[in-house]
Structure 1
């Protein structure tokens, strides 16, 4: 159904002229579910900064990105005269997630085969509910996140801003660099609409307006970095809240899995990234328009449950997505990849499907867990998700009540039957 809707939308886009500012990146074609991770961010449309073709995934066994990402190919990380490039984040002595997370190459449990045609430098497959790390490549290697870092801004805005709060579009937002959902100067938007534009269409214009509501660029950066630290993301520093490249930007596959697992536990975030399309307001004489989800895994896989796309010249393609296969909710993070052998969402799906053979308790690490002597970890209690009962099945009182209540109900029914029987006697 989603694939049909996307195809229909693409066909209509050829017949209906694009309203000014709608879901475009400067100098790039309209953003759709099929091309969003190509036009997102800081792309050089001349083609000179396009990632070099890859026949296979880069070799990271020697931990080349343990301290910082690879050198930038563009001027995106140039600092102002007199300023200094931020020092790299400290490398923890003990890697988060377990002892095997110190391995910079491929780490998989017995029985799982890694797809041969992946081209990502780093990736991770994880269980959304238990937090088990099912397989990984260079999990703590430091890479540029591109727009998947927008998850931090979204979580801060969801926590601090009233979704019904009204925000007026500005020229600065409308002319922002990179991908845009299509806000206009003088347009009127709710925070909820901006969050949909931020996460579904990777709108840097929506990001800018949300940041101003949170206190401005600097305060917002402080807030998103504080959230990253609070969540235990030790490889992550947001140099921009939108994902545009800037000096000091870094993250890791482990950190993105850790952050997105927490994000999916937020019902507002989960609802937004799990939405096909929404109506978005127009401005001035420009009519409103539809914004479609740019996540190919969600839009093309019936089991998809959302995520985020990303691309910049120096980050290359990045992606986070998840599916629910027969009740097993599994996600994948993809960093620094190309499209030579498949879109980022297709690579993520291959990894998730390959991980389905991994039984509970046979993972190679644990999100949020300490280092361990072995890579095998016990499954953590599933995280509470929308619709789940907050009661713990191991709570003694709760367990007792589950036994006592049915017995009590039966006893009451028997007593009622006896009373009724004796009353009927002459």
Structure 2
């Protein structure tokens, strides 16, 4: 395996909207009204959607600037909502009903991880008691956690990311002072990220009235999560060993074997009708009755890092959500540098606030001590603390911060340390 190497990024200046609807807007929150109680989405997007990230992102239908030299969008897209964005600059290259509030299914686990993952060292052990699993929803995806067994936090996060295990989510939530507290913290973190379409009811994404997100929000959340080293490593892990149940062997000695689990992200692991996508590095898939199939992915090719979110394709073909995602990635990599953006991924509230404080400079680094606990959770470009042993190979972190400049523009100076998996699969 070749040694990982760092990839430098030039500072990208992203102008805010001041003249026309084609320009990007400053990160002012314009959220649509909170959703009414419902267990299934409407058939058409609402007339009034959020305009966070730009006026065009609040409009129904496909938003793209297909000028001369820009490749044509795929014609066979059936998803209710999708978005293609540059993960580093935050430019939204194209979108379709970006702020439509829809059930997110297990893509909600990205917000769960981004909220809870920094709280517990991966070596922390927890013995599962019956109450930890008492309220796991019927028909949930499970990794196979057993009452009375002890698991490390590392084991539990493997269960969350690879098998989308609702049982692992509930155990971690109970460790985090309970389901209600975890939901509260997730909603607070969504507000901090300006993911204002999102309303959490269950931390695992299980169908519930009022539980919604949007393609825009899921992309914001993924972008935030990918600042964390452990998040990147877990979401890019293809297979891992998971502890089984303790049993007696023939000699009467207690033994505990492990079993292999595989990532259910088909662009990462592949399937009979879909290959591993070139340059893929995560992030999270989901599927429930109300949500249909949902997926947010990140991939790198030729030095460009893109995020794509696809929600609920109408076409019922096997693995359709991954096939539509792959087509949008292909378009995005061809269009990058040629297409004028239709909006932007806004930074967290605290990033913009911190950048306006005395001591910020034009190199993308903020002076002064500040509150490291808050910034590690919220600021774009800040990496969470924690080891990386046991999962994948990651590249070293040199995180930047967003700096608020004149006219509402942002200077982004960052290196994106995606896992080595990208380096091995991402070369054309």
Q: In structure 2, what is the Cα distance between the partners aligned to 1:318 and 1:195? A: 20
Whether the 8 Å contact between 1:165 and 1:191 is mirrored in structure 2 is yes
Whether the 8 Å contact between 2:80 and 2:314 is mirrored in structure 1 is no
Q: In structure 1, what is the Cα distance between the partners aligned to 2:212 and 2:316? A: 24
- Specify the alignment match of 1:194 in structure 2: 156
- Specify the alignment match of 2:409 in structure 1: none
Using the TM superposition, give the Cα deviation of residue 166 of structure 1 relative to its aligned residue in structure 2, in angstroms.
0.4
- Specify the alignment match of 1:298 in structure 2: 268
Cα displacement string for residues 361-389 of structure 1 (whole angstroms, at most 9, x for unaligned residues): 7211110079xxxxxxxxxx895785354
- Specify the alignment match of 2:425 in structure 1: none
Using the TM superposition, give the Cα deviation of residue 170 of structure 1 relative to its aligned residue in structure 2, in angstroms.
3.1
Q: In structure 2, what is the Cα distance between the partners aligned to 1:71 and 1:210? A: 28
Seen in structure 2, the aligned counterparts of structure 1 residues 67 and 223 have a Cα distance that, compared at 3 Å, is: closer
Unmatched 5+ residue regions in structure 2? 2-31, 42-47, 248-255, 270-275, 349-363, 365-379, 384-394, 404-428
Question: So what's the TM-score if we normalise by structure 1?
Answer: 0.66
Q: In structure 2, what is the Cα distance between the partners aligned to 1:259 and 1:391? A: 18
SS in structure 1 of the partner of residue 334 of structure 2: coil
Cα displacement string for residues 246-297 of structure 1 (whole angstroms, at most 9, x for unaligned residues): 1211111111111101111111100001111111111222631011111111
Q: 1:387 aligns with which of 381, 396, 401?
A: 396
Whether the 8 Å contact between 1:126 and 1:133 is mirrored in structure 2 is yes
- Specify the alignment match of 1:116 in structure 2: 75
Whether the 8 Å contact between 2:56 and 2:342 is mirrored in structure 1 is yes
Unmatched 5+ residue regions in structure 1? 2-64, 75-90, 371-380, 395-426
- The structure whose Rg is larger is 1
Using the TM superposition, give the Cα deviation of residue 69 of structure 1 relative to its aligned residue in structure 2, in angstroms.
8.0
Q: In structure 1, what is the Cα distance between the partners aligned to 2:400 and 2:133? A: 47
Seen in structure 2, the aligned counterparts of structure 1 residues 384 and 209 have a Cα distance that, compared at 3 Å, is: closer
Whether the 8 Å contact between 2:114 and 2:224 is mirrored in structure 1 is no
- Specify the alignment match of 2:87 in structure 1: 128
Whether the 8 Å contact between 2:39 and 2:209 is mirrored in structure 1 is no
| Correspondence 1:100 to 2:56 | yes
Using the TM superposition, give the Cα deviation of residue 358 of structure 1 relative to its aligned residue in structure 2, in angstroms.
2.3
Structure 1 stretches of 4+ with a deviation exceeding 6 A read none
- Specify the alignment match of 2:321 in structure 1: 344
| Correspondence 1:221 to 2:183 | yes
| Correspondence 1:233 to 2:195 | yes
- Specify the alignment match of 1:164 in structure 2: 123
Whether the 8 Å contact between 1:96 and 1:369 is mirrored in structure 2 is no
Whether the 8 Å contact between 2:132 and 2:174 is mirrored in structure 1 is no
- Specify the alignment match of 2:257 in structure 1: 287
Whether the 8 Å contact between 2:98 and 2:216 is mirrored in structure 1 is yes
Cα displacement string for residues 134-173 of structure 1 (whole angstroms, at most 9, x for unaligned residues): 1100011110000000112112222211211101123455
- Specify the alignment match of 1:259 in structure 2: 221
Seen in structure 2, the aligned counterparts of structure 1 residues 73 and 339 have a Cα distance that, compared at 3 Å, is: same
Greater displacement, 346-355 / 332-341: 332-341
| Correspondence 1:354 to 2:331 | yes
Whether the 8 Å contact between 2:133 and 2:170 is mirrored in structure 1 is no
Greater displacement, 278-287 / 139-148: 278-287
- Specify the alignment match of 2:109 in structure 1: 150
Whether the 8 Å contact between 1:139 and 1:254 is mirrored in structure 2 is yes
Seen in structure 2, the aligned counterparts of structure 1 residues 268 and 369 have a Cα distance that, compared at 3 Å, is: closer
Q: 1:185 aligns with which of 147, 153, 156?
A: 147
Work out the number of aligned pairs and report it: 304
Using the TM superposition, give the Cα deviation of residue 346 of structure 1 relative to its aligned residue in structure 2, in angstroms.
1.6
Greater displacement, 354-363 / 177-186: 354-363
Q: 2:235 aligns with which of 273, 277, 280?
A: 273
| Correspondence 1:364 to 2:342 | yes
Q: How much is the aligned-residue C-alpha RMSD, in angstroms?
A: 2.9
Structure whose residues are more often strand by fraction: 2
Q: In structure 2, what is the Cα distance between the partners aligned to 1:153 and 1:258? A: 13
